[in-house]
Amino acid sequence: MKSNTTTNALRHRATRLARLAGTGLFTALLAFSSTSMVAATPAMAADGSEAALGTTLASKAARAEQLTQSLADLHAQYRAAPAHQQPARLDELATAIAERKALLADLIKNDPASALRLALSPSVRAGMPAQVRNALEQHVDVAGELEVFYEEYPNKKARLVHYLRTPQGQRISLHFKTQPPGLLTGTQVRAKGVQLDSSMALESGETSLTLAAKGGATGGSNGGTPAPGPSATGEHRTLVVLVNFQDNPIQPYTPDFAKSVLTTTNDYFLENSHQQMWLNADVAGWFTIANSSSVCDTNAIGTQAQAAASAAGYNLSAYTHLVYAFPQIACGWWGLSSVGGSPSNTWITGELKIGVTAHELGHAIGLFHSHSNDCGADTLGATCTTYEYGDQFDMMGSSSTGHYNAFQKERLGWLNTSSTAPITTVTSDGVFTLEPYAASGTGPKALKIPKGIDPLTGQQAWYYVEFRQAVGFDSVLAGNTNVLNGVLIHTATSSNGNSANLLDMTPNSGTSLYLDWKDPALVVGGTFTDPASGVSITSDVVSATQAVVTVRFGSGGSTSSALLSATGSTSQTTYTRGQTVYLTANVNAGGVPVAGATVSFTVTKANGSQVKGSATTGSDGKALYQFQLKKPDPVGTYQTGMVAAFNGQSATTAVSFNVQ
């Protein structure tokens, strides 16, 4: 039985609430636990840092664990109590659950790993009294549409936030234990995790958030609808709505100035895309809206801005991107944008300039940030730090006007298509030539070299090599002798848009982090070697018009050291007619599971007839195919051939099973 001061205070307060409301003790406790008791979460402060908490997350997790362990005893006491004592015992159980709920709600948002560790199993939750069950978390599998947003702060900090909007009208905030997936707004997904009220904790983006068939009940790697890729070709009609507020109706710049910024932004997109994409921008306003400048309510700002523009005669459905620009208010961030979306939605507060518009609209067309990977004294290492805006030469990093890197442009369809300049994919030893990255020529703009399989995602990782000169919007590089006399090298992973990392070929060269990343290029005469794969990249020659690079794959001279392989298995060795046969293919490269491999299954029955199907591997490298045996099927031995295909490689395997 709980008798500590905190618990008693909570009980007394809840009882008072119940008496005042006249709605019963349990209703008051549940409402109390989801509102009054919730401590402040470490949302971003005005400078983008985490707000101070009264207690640490570690202490909250420890207290939540104590309460979780106490629930079994409290529940047992309630069940064993005589009928006249059960209300008091239920009161104690409800009080502990209410305190635990407040702590768990905070942990889901700020420490998902602890929340997942402490979550009750479905059977334990189901066994709890009905009066308190709704205050307990539950394991869910929910389908809906993904919403992804970046909040950008002036001090180069950012928050990437995810929501799931369900067909039933719920909007659930998603919080990942590990790196979230690089999926875009509008992707139909299934989310598997632990939900409490409108928040959910997920194990990881690869295993807990899977593609789902739109409107259907199936999903995952074998039944999903592919994620919508970035759409960044042709005309993109863009409406910029200028709004201010009734309590502060200032106009910090003119509509003509806003139009000039969007004209420059259009020039940036035209040059970056090799004329593949352009903006057709309109500017509406200024409009004074009812929202207060002391409140950061992005939904209200967007809704009121749209209403004002519609009233002024603008057809919002005609636009690909909606941008709401307004004076600095209480939000703290500089810009906020959906990542993708149809239409996309972008909010810009304060100064309006290309460094904001081209960056935020980069998110709007589907790009994530361009990072740097800092491994201290080494270019690669076991202990590294990823800096969110670390690529100082890319608009999606911290550059003021630099071109998007080659991985970003490839995702957008601006490089390596039939109508754009090529990226040379290197699979064997050789000497390769690059032309200036931002120039208008049609020669190779980058090299793409296999790095190996990313152990975290099971996807193919790549090196991208670029030759940058002070041309066009890349003129921001003028004066940087390191970059102009070498090549930049990034890493990125297939199917993960949020994986672009600049590498430092001269680690620890600067007296500060900022200066250390001013000279990351591999200059003429330098060689970088990946100690794991044996791939080496040498910068041979650099002039104003070309760079010559040598690539070698170690002793093998090719990528064959990471050949695809596959093994197969069945759920059992013998079946009877009417049963379902579960066939599994395990696909890996170099011992690492491969995600996204296509596996073709051919089942040859005992009488020689065949049934064929296919499936795609998940992050664990496994593809599952289900084969239903029918009563007329013959008895005997069945053979199953499996053919896995990934990135131009293939692997085969076979299994057999008996039917009796």
Please write the tens of the pLDDT for every residue from 226-264: 445 567 999 999 999 999 999 999 999 999 999 999 999
| Per-residue pLDDT, 38 | 24
Contacts of residue 467, defined as CB under 8 A and 6 or more positions apart, other chains included, come to 434, 435, 436, 437, 487, 488, 542, 546, 547
Query: Looking at residue 184, what is its pLDDT?
Result: 92
Give 144's strand partners: 189
pLDDT of 532 reads: 86
Is residue 363 within 8 Å of residue 150, measured between CB atoms?
yes
The angle, 0 to 180 degrees and rounded to 10, between the axes of the packed helices 25-34 and 86-110 is 20
The CA distance from 348 to 253, in Å, is 13
Q: For position 533, what pLDDT does the model report?
A: 85
Looking at residue 455, its pLDDT comes to 73
**C-alpha distances in Å from residue 327, one per residue of 195, 241, 312:** 37, 12, 21
Task: Go through 514-543 and write b for each residue having 16 or more CB atoms within 10 A of its CB, e for each that does not.
Answer: eebbbbbbbbbeeebebeebebbbbbbebe
**Amino acid at the residue 590:** G
Q: Quick check: 497 and 182 in contact, CB under 8 A?
A: yes
List the 430-434 sheet strands across, edge first: 430-434, 547-552, 536-542, 527-529
In angstroms, rounded to a whole number, what is the distance separating the alpha carbons of residues 452 and 494? 11
Residues 6+ apart with CB under 8 A from 519: 480, 482, 483, 506, 509, 510
Residues 386 and 501 sit within 8 Å (Cβ to Cβ): yes
pTM for the whole structure: 0.79
Q: Which residues of the chain have pLDDT under 50?
A: 1-54, 213-227, 561
Q: Which helix (H) or strand (E) holds 443?
A: none
Residue 270 to residue 236: CA distance in whole angstroms? 11
Tell me, what's the pLDDT at 628?
Answer: 92
Q: Mind listing the pLDDT tens digit for each residue in 39-51?
A: 222 344 434 444 4
- The pLDDT assigned to 207 comes to 64
What pLDDT is attached to residue 49?
45
